[in-house]
Amino acid sequence: MLPEQLSSADFIQLGKTTSWVPGKRVMSELHRQARITNAAYLASTPLGYLPALSGLLVVGCNDEQPSDMEVTHQLLEIAGRIISEVLQHRILNQNLNNQILESNRHLAIQKSIIDSAQEGVLILDHEFRVIEINPSAEVLLGYTKEEVLGQYVENVMIGAERLMASLENASHGVPSLNLRASGLHRRNGETFPAQIQVIPNQIEEELLAILIFIKDLSEQIQSRARAQQLENRALLGEFTAIFAHEVRNPINNLSAGLQLLDSQLGDDDPNRDVVARMQNDCTRLTNLFERVLAFSRPFTPNLEAVDLRILLQRILDRWRPKMARVKVQSFFQMEPEIPRVTGDPQLLEQVFINLISNAVEAMEKDGGTLAIRISTSDAIMNRPQVEVAVSDNGPGIPDDVRERLFEPFLTTKPQGTGLGLALTKRIVTAHQGTITVNSFPGGTVFRVFLPVFEGE
């Protein structure tokens, strides 16, 4: 019976091939156990290599001793070396497999990071050939991975100034972190502004690869342009409001003077027609400046839950006498269980009054039909909306006007200001909604999309 464990001191004593026979001095617990069990002999040789021994190879017999103990020692040492080599190979192989698994895990993580990066990433070898490209770079440049692998990068990134010089620097370990390309070409010929980073990947002095990061600056430039445009509009709006306020007072004075002059003219005085036309012009200018002030004045919607059925029904009831005079019939349709929307009732009323007024005016010559339909919309995922469609069968809107329909001061009416639809779009946008128009000879449809009320 061999002992279940040996102390470190015993391992030191048994650090070379040893043997024990009855009558010989006991050197370890292993020998002591052999003497207790009346073994005829016991021999051992260490497994592994100093200073890290991994075990012992032990042979023994209770019947008789071997005829030649020296040969037994030699055979035992040979067997120990073979077993040690096998164990060492297994340990090395296991360690190598663990290192491979760990490296593969790191590579998978790195690939996942590169593939999910919003920036385009290209990886080049030392000859500047593409050896990897991530999905974002495929979308940016318009090439598939199969098309660019093995290609020289200058055949893929066309229009990037100073790219080759940056690659030469990278091959000597010098990165380029802010390389601008004003017109990087996509495969279909489109160009886009980009920021490019060229970074060498090396260990000590050995270049492993060159990484190219591409960032599309189109949205950033557009955002900056929109911000500048909004700033300019705000400044223009402030100036327009001041101008309108200052001009309105002289117009009021002119109108008062014309009224006084008109009262002093006789009924048959030929100048009364001139005065009347001038008074009408003053009135039209006053209305125009009132609309300009309303358009330029900043506002913040007082949002609450709005029932569009009640709102639109109330507007239609007020407009029915006017529609009856111009032979316009109205139809109101609504899907069942339409949810309320988030909005300012007064501002939304102004939106739909503008749309209904435009539709009625478009049909007042020959009459027609005004139709309003309320329905739910799932055009935007995870954002429920209510759609209000206002349609008429008037003559339609010309193509050149429709493209600029929501711009300020654009009008086709002789007495129009061109601010109604511009203000309408501004109000809808302030409600985080959208408005669209579809027009053709014989009809026009405006669609207003407003977010569903979902609580405070």
At 375-387, the pLDDT tens digits run: 998 877 778 899 9
Place of tokens 């015993």: 10
Highest mean pLDDT range out of 129-143, 238-252, 259-273? 129-143
What pLDDT, on the 0 to 100 scale, is given for residue 233?
66
Give me the mean pLDDT over the 410-439 stretch: 77
Whether pLDDT at 414 is above 60: no
Query: Hey, what domains does the chain have and what are their CATH numbers?
Result: 8-94 (3.30.450), 117-216 (3.30.450.20), 221-296 (1.10.287), 304-451 (3.30.565.10)
- Residue 176: which residues within 8 A CB-CB, separation 6 or more? 162, 166, 169, 170, 196, 197, 198
Nearest to 42 by CA among 3, 4, 83: 3
* b/e code 280-312 from CB counts within 10 Å (16+ = b): eebeebeebbebbeebbeeeebebeebebeebb
In the predicted structure, residue 58 carries a pLDDT above the cut 60: yes
118 has a pLDDT exceeding 60: yes
Which position has the higher pLDDT, 51 or 326? Answer: 326
Does the pTM exceed 0.75? Answer: no
Render pLDDT for 2-31 as a digit per residue (tens, 0 to 9): 777 888 888 778 888 888 888 888 888 888
Q: In this model, does residue 85 exceed pLDDT 70?
A: yes
pLDDT in the model for residue 382: 74
For residue 84, what pLDDT is reported? 87
Helices 345-363 and 308-325 sit at what angle, rounded to 10 degrees? 30
* pLDDT of 417: 52
Element housing 146 (H / E): helix 145-148
pLDDT at 375: 93
Handedness of CA 30, 35, 38, 40 (dihedral sign): positive
The amino acid occupying position 235 is L
Q: Return all residues near 269 (Cβ < 8 A) that are at least 6 apart.
A: none
Question: CB–CB of 204/182 below 8 Å?
Answer: no
The pLDDT tens digits of the residues spanning 70-80 come to 888 889 889 98
* Residue 430: pLDDT band with limits 50, 70, 90: confident
E strand map for 72-152: 120-124, 130-133
Q: What is the mean pLDDT of residues 103-127?
A: 84
Spatial separation of the C-alpha atoms in residues 270 and 5, rounded to whole Å: 132
Residue 132, CA distances (Å) to 103, 109, 121, 143, 149 in order: 18, 15, 8, 12, 7
Angle formed at CA 297 by CA 293 and CA 300, multiple of 5 degrees? 150
pLDDT tier at 409 (50, 70, 90 boundaries)? low
Give me the percent of the chain exceeding a pLDDT of 70.
92
What band does 296 get if pLDDT is binned at 50, 70 and 90?
Answer: low
How many residues are present in the chain? 456
